Structure 1
Amino acid sequence: MVIVGRTTISLSDAVKRELLREMAKLQLKWGRKVDFEDAIMYLILERRRKPELLEEACRPIEGVRPELVIRSLVEERRRDLEGEEEV
């Protein structure tokens, strides 16, 4: 039996929305279900061939203040960790 390590990442709603759009495109292109890992790996590999693709996906979003997003992500992660301790 092989145990594969997993990790949890936090995404802003905007990034999640864009990633879901990319997943939908890949599902149509590949004709099968695509998960977040498939989409992220695809973007990483495409980045090596087309650097502008990843840069476009990661560019700042007009009207979004990064410090508020970071604060929100930290608070959300703290709540997640507190929930894990209770279990």
Structure 2
Amino acid sequence: MGRTTISLSDAVKRELLREMAKLQLKWGRKVDFEDAIMYLILERRRKPELLEEACRPIEGVRPELVIRSLVEERRRDLEGEEEV
């Protein structure tokens, strides 16, 4: 299966890390981002409000600035890969 890179805001990353910590305690093993995201997707099917809460807009955050920042950061990442 192929892999891809995604970008998250610091707030979403922080919340995802919290969920990962809860899952690690619950499951008794190391949990990675993919495990946590898949868990949230499956829970979303059973409890749609969980995913809606995780994906709702953050007050005071302007999406266009976040998107611009993510695009710039990704461009720098790609430029760094080309240098290697």
Q: CA separation in 2, counterparts of 1:7 and 1:69?
A: 20
Structure with the greater relative contact order (CA < 8 A, sep ≥ 6): 1 or 2? 1
Alignment partner of 1:30 out of 16, 21, 27:
27
Q: CA separation in 1, counterparts of 2:35 and 2:59?
A: 28
- Alignment length (residue pairs): 84
Q: CA separation in 1, counterparts of 2:29 and 2:74?
A: 32
Length-normalised TM-score, structure 2? 0.96
Superposition misfits of 4+ residues, deviation over 6 angstroms: none
Identity %: 99
Length-normalised TM-score, structure 1? 0.93
Structure 1 residue 67, shift from structure 2 partner = 0.8
Q: Which runs of 5+ in 2 are unaligned?
A: none
